[in-house]
Amino acid sequence: MRSRALILASLVAVAAVILVVGVAVAGAGQSDPLPDIAAPDLLSKMAQADGVTAVSGDISWHNGLFGDLSAASGMAHLPAQSPLTSDGSGRIWVSDAGARVESQGSGGDQVVVVNKAERTAWVYDDAQNAVKKVVVTGEAPAETASPAPSASMMTPEAITLYLQQVARFATVEVAGQTKVAGRDAYQLRMTPVATDTALGYVQAAVDGETMLPLQLEVYAKGGTQPVLKFGFATVSYDSIDTATFAFTPPAGAKVTAKTVDGDALKAKAEKMQQSHSAQGEPTKGQKAAAQQAVQGALLTRGEVAELVPYELAYARDYTARPYQWGYVLSPAGPLTGSGAPLMQTLGAVTGMDLEALTSVGSPSERAGSAATGPSSVLLYGQGFGTIVLAQTQTTPDLAKQLKQLQQTSQILGTTTVGTAKATQVGTPLGGIVVWQQGGTTLVAGGMVPMSDLEAFASSVR
């Protein structure tokens, strides 16, 4: 099962589909080679299948989010350096010994190699002739360090119940069958319930025998061609020589190295496991208290305004998407309406040291981040039609980043929000608008039509 988990994580699988789906089934035609199957049964088979220990093959992808970024190739701060920002092809090898991806695209060629035995990862950029190396020292974290749902729990009945709970966001259907890389596959399609989203649907081709996803396509609303597409052109489930996961930097390449303390990661994981084991299953009262604490972090606009050190901007006279709730995010994580860190509150009601387990970075790094103060996030609308409005104080580093972003306005686009010049990133699947006002930086974004997003941003003040 560990091999399969590694493979699924490396193949850009359909986790997003599984998280936000409802229930439906489409009957296959009599000429289809695979038997009919309902969505819950297919998802259950995907979760429980454990026959594949290796996968390799030729891959190709299409990325139509940003159009032609060739003019941005000389701007190091743009993602145009990645082959994945346009169209490309390559080859992939994945097994329990590691992973290797070789990609070629208009943004350049790259090689990514992960060697599990050596606990080393390499990223080679041909255009820059540069190599990044990451080495994990000490012992790697235990693979079963924290509680995780067992595949045996992912029965059709359990999945059906879960899907019914989230069906207000999207529905899923087995929308016929197809053939990918010479393999018969089911078409698993997720369609948002929201009518005000730019997302049309997400479709995955699932191997009818191995239950591995072979292709993923994302369509804009009303679109007939995928905006994003990733999949196998050829595929093999044969074993892979471990020498495939060895990498030697090319002569003359600039190598930068980073070390990750595996012992510290392992200790943190073990502490989490021990804490969970000591506490056992939470009582009914603890579950209720924890749920109440989480609800306490879903704030009214007034509560958000009380917790941030700046004048809160929000959408005024805007009715297209109602305000849902807001969050206040601090270096200690989300805050409740009283200003207490949510993790601190959850720790108090469950008896677990959640603050220590979820802390990120060194004490000095956390102290430095505290100087920026908390940030706010306001949500308008529901499901895939949600617009997010984030606001934070403008630091010197953030101002520098925004200046760099504005220098690419000929590529990304500009608009006006009130009297402020804003940079916008528009795609067929939605976008973001970024601007500054009153010493703060605001970002409005969502998977919604850009005309909706611009109208929303113009109401923020």
Tell me, yes or no, whether 299 and 414 share the same domain. yes
The CB density around residue 28, as the number of other CB atoms within 10 Å, is 18
Tell me, yes or no, whether 253 and 285 share the same domain. no
Asked whether residue 274 is domain-assigned, the answer is no
The CB density around residue 220, as the number of other CB atoms within 10 Å, is 23
Tell me, yes or no, whether 249 and 301 share the same domain. no
pLDDT at 258: 94
pLDDT at 353: 57
pLDDT at 154: 54
pLDDT at 147: 40
Tell me, yes or no, whether 212 and 335 share the same domain. no
pLDDT at 400: 81
Retrieve residue 231's tokens: 């999949």
Asked whether residue 142 is domain-assigned, the answer is yes
pLDDT at 139: 72
Tell me, yes or no, whether 362 and 447 share the same domain. yes
pLDDT at 364: 44
Tell me, yes or no, whether 343 and 232 share the same domain. no
Read off the pLDDT of residues 201-220 as tens digits, 9 standing for 90 and up. Answer: 999 999 999 999 999 999 99
Tell me, yes or no, whether 178 and 304 share the same domain. no
128 is in which domain, residue-wise? 2-259
Tell me, yes or no, whether 235 and 293 share the same domain. no
Asked whether residue 276 is domain-assigned, the answer is no
Of the candidates 93, 102, 141, which has an alpha carbon nearest to the alpha carbon of residue 119? 141
pLDDT at 396: 87
Could you say which residues of the chain have pLDDT below 50? 6, 8-30, 71-81, 142, 144-152, 357, 360-371
Asked whether residue 358 is domain-assigned, the answer is yes
pLDDT at 344: 76
Cβ atoms of 390 and 377 closer than 8 Å: yes
pLDDT at 266: 77
Asked whether residue 271 is domain-assigned, the answer is no
Q: Which helix H or strand E contains 177, and what residues bound it? A: strand 170-180
* Domain tally, the chain: 2
Tell me, yes or no, whether 301 and 359 share the same domain. yes
